[in-house]
Structure 1
Amino acid sequence: MLIPISNTPRDYSWGSVDLIPALEGREPTGRPEAEVWYGDHPGCPSVVAGGSGQTLDEALAAAGEQPLPFLLKVLAAASSLSIQAHPTIAQARESFAREEDAGVPRDAADRLYRDANHKPEIIVALSDEFRALVGIRPLDDTRRLVAALGEGPARAALMQRLGAPVGAEGADGAATGADAAAPASVVRDLLAWALTDADADLVADLVRALERADSDEFAEEIATLRAAAADFPGDPGLIVALLMNLVILRPGQALFAPAGVLHAYQSGLGVELMAASDNVLRGGLTPKHVDVPELMRVVDVATGPAPLVVPQEIAPGVREYAPPVSDFALTAVTVTADQPVTVALRGPAIVLATAGEVEVRTADAVVSLVPGAAVYVGREDRVEVSGAGAVFVAQPGRA
């Protein structure tokens, strides 16, 4: 069963004006185009081709199919998304039930849990570079970044809370105190302080410090923080962003944000795949509701490098991104005119074209796709992709 699907781009303020139109080969509308959703999520289900107006969730229900366990998107960012983390499935179930029992409307601005699912997610870069903040970098690295800010109240306060009172850190910014051995405690305390107690004067001093900061090692990080400060004046989430790994992905590179890991995409075009959920706990760089106690309940305060995903080449022209979740896996397929590719399926799938012109074929049906077009594939154990171009195949994971 093949069902061609499409959707209207969502016009979130952080969206790019031109990245999605360029992918689809059309003129920009002049409005931000942030995301295109491919799936049956009730927040914005895809529309079935043919002019009937039927949505994919309606079509699947009519055919007796189960809802998809994943949601596929094209994401185009021109400025930072909110810093956010997502709950585990156990946390989501308990907290969703709590808000339901309390009678909080599901569309309320301060509603945190809109469903009972977790929301791990992976994003693969399509643009020449895709920038993201993800996870908490090692604290010694952050101490060196803060040391580059120069003298001032923000530097002094941050160094003290990073476990290195001013004058006690080494020349490289490394901590010498007892807190250096307890990074999780340091991070947890610093996050809570940044979002509840850091005052406007301190944030303003941090912005001034970033403007004069000069560091070869952290030049990209400082530029990213300056841009965030300009887009979100006075937002204490800037301190949270300062703690996070900056990742610059090149085409085909990917990162994975599991439950609890802070992340905030900054700029670029990518294909994003996630569990079918809309549960978001925000941690700054946003005008939306931030519930600090709930964020602190779910956030992962472990430090370390960014959680990147290296694809496995399973056949010529076929690379699979398989994070350790059962909800989804993502396969990137490149085909040439003389070399069609067959992809094995473990369940229902969505095939999204991102380059060239391709055909998606099953035993009894075929659909042609151009960049930005997609097709739902159901009740099949394999699908053939032919033509000259590239597609991504979203389907249930192996885990």
Structure 2
Amino acid sequence: MVEILRMRNPVQHYAWGSREVLARLQGRPVPSPEPEAELWVGGHPSAPSVLERDGREEPLEGLPFLLKILAIDAPLSIQVHPSPEQAEAGFEREQRAGIPLDDPRRNYKDRSAKPETVVALTGVDLLTGVQPAERLRATAGRLRLDWLREVAGGQGPVLPAVLGMDDDDARAAVAATVAAARGADPEDPVAGLVRYVHERHPEDRGLLVAVCMQHVRLTPGQSLHTPAGQLHAYLSGTAIEVMSSSDNVLRAGLTGKHVDVAELLGVLAEEQAEPEVVEPAADELGRRVYPLWDERLSLTAYELVPGRAVPVELRGTTVLLCAGERAVVRGADREWELGGGESLLHRGGAAAVELTGDARLFAVSCP
């Protein structure tokens, strides 16, 4: 049996979201009444997509991935996700401790890891991993930051030293860093990062962690994968994100949510991976295939242009998401028109379709 169903997808309202990006994409009035951070396409229990079947609506269940459009207008929390083994152990530990799943102190909401891959739709700025000690020492000298010189010159890892500062020392370090950034060369990249973060998260000690991290800018079409144990934060831009359907997040700052430094350091990978930006070449039909963390999953981006039809064979379970003005999915006996942010779910045997329109269309498939 083959079925292709329309989906209705929820928008998540977080403080760091844009009041323009998703509203404009979906043809709604701009600005939106409140920040709109993420469009969720999937079956996550807290906000599942709804399937439209024969005039009825039903929540989507059982999808092993979550596809999102991120509309980032302010820095997200600096965070790290656990490995499958850490997630399982942490979930069971908090269950035995009797911490309710909706308790703000809860670190592990499920038993799953949360690997994620992001593809830039616009320029996207993000932080990932930790800079080499020599670069941190150079920044400390250039901006005259004694706290950074001390942690970068020590024998131990940088992040535990920064996160382990007592409150008074951290407050003093934040104040000194902001003052240094305000008096620095306007073109200094670290000073610019400090000013941007401080404006949106004043006096947050996560600023010190951000200074130590690697700053990466993705151009449209470029991708970056974040493995378990990797410290990261998105700063600005619009992107597609594919992730495991999990809620397990350990936070290090730039947030009003629960921060558990001891648990974060236990999950943090000892070696923080160097950022590896991926930019697959497009074929003659405008297709780009992006690697994901699981070889059973696939992510394909289609750059649709007027007058060019792209044949596609849908297999297994596939979500098609339109990230542009208009896309048409034409099957043997039916066609579906998709506007920005609209999607289809295919399930069952193989189905040959043809894609046309003027949009970027993303397809995520699993067996």
Q: Does 1:44 align with 2:14?
A: no
Q: Alignment partner for residue 105 of structure 1, among 100, 108, 125?
A: 100
The amino acid of 2:84's aligned partner reads I
- 1:381 counterpart residue number: 350
Q: Is the Cα contact below 8 Å between 1:195 and 1:237 reproduced in 2?
A: no
Q: CA deviation at 1:363?
A: 4.7
CA distance in 2, matches of 1:195, 1:388: 56
**Letter matched to residue 152 of structure 2:** L
The share of aligned pairs that are identical, in percent, is 36
> Which residue number corresponds to residue 74 of structure 1?
69
Over residues 74-116 of structure 1, what are the superposed CA-to-partner deviations in whole Å (9 max), with x where a residue is unaligned? 1101100000010001111111111122221111101111111
Instruction: State the alpha-carbon separation in 2 of the partners of residues 197 and 294 from structure 1.
Output: 22
* Alpha-carbon contact 2:186-2:192 (below 8 Å) kept: no
Partner of 1:308, secondary structure, is: coil
Q: Aligned equivalents of 2:197 and 2:136: distance in 1?
A: 17
CA distance in 1, matches of 2:29, 2:41: 21
Cα distance, 1:39 vs structure 2: 0.6
The residue that corresponds to 2:124 in the other structure is: 130
1:61 is matched with: none
Deviation at residue 241 of structure 1 after TM alignment: 0.5
In 2: Cα distance, 1:194 partner to 1:359 partner:
55
Task: Name the amino acid aligned to 1:206.
Answer: T
Amino acid at match of 2:59: T
Contact 2:331 / 2:354 at 8 angstroms: preserved in 1? no
Q: Give the alignment partner of residue 161 of structure 2, picking from 170, 190, 207.
A: 190
- Does residue 91 in structure 1 map to residue 117 in structure 2? no
1:31 lines up with 2:34 in the alignment: yes
Aligned in 2, Cα 1:123/1:197: closer, same or farther, shift over 3 Å? farther
Runs of 5+ in structure 1 lacking a partner?
A: 58-66, 165-178, 180-184
Per the TM alignment, residue 2 of structure 1 is displaced from its structure 2 partner at its CA by 0.9
CA-based RMSD of the aligned residues comes to 2.3
Please say if 1:395 is aligned against 2:358. no
8 Å CA contact 1:77–1:265 kept in 2: the answer is yes
Distance 1:259 1:363, change over 3 A: farther
Is the Cα–Cα contact under 8 Å of residues 231 and 272 in structure 2 kept in the other structure? no
Q: Shift of residue 307 of structure 1?
A: 3.1
Per the TM alignment, residue 21 of structure 1 is displaced from its structure 2 partner at its CA by 1.4
Please give the residue correspondences for 1:201-216 in structure 2 after superposition, counting only pairs within 5 Å.
201-214=172-185, 216=187
Corresponding residue SS for 1:162:
helix
Alignment of 1:131-280 (within 5 A): 131-150=125-144, 155-163=145-153, 179=155, 185-194=156-165, 198-214=169-185, 216=187, 219-280=188-249
Give the drift of 1:368: 1.6
Greater Cα offset, 188-197 or 82-91: 188-197
Change (3 A) 1:385 1:122: farther
Residue in structure 1 matched with residue 276 of structure 2 by the alignment: 307
- Displacement after TM superposition at 1:256 (Å): 1.1
The structural deviation recorded for 1:117 is 0.6
2:214 partner amino acid? N
Unaligned runs of 5+ in 2: none
TM-score in terms of structure 1 length: 0.84
Which structure shows the bigger proportion of residues in strand conformation? 2
Structure-2 residue corresponding to 1:55: 59
Distance in structure 1 (CA, Å) of the matches to 2:93 and 2:168: 28
Indicate conservation of the 8 Å contact 2:81/2:230, yes or no. yes
Find the residue that maps to 2:5 and give its secondary structure.
Answer: strand
**C-alpha separation in 1, matches of 2:363 and 2:191:** 36
Contact 2:137–2:153 under 8 Å retained in 1: no
Does the Cα contact within 8 Å between 1:126 and 1:270 map onto a contact in 2? yes
Q: Contact between 2:314 and 2:353, CA under 8 Å: does it hold in 1?
A: no
Q: Give how far 1:70 is off.
A: 0.3
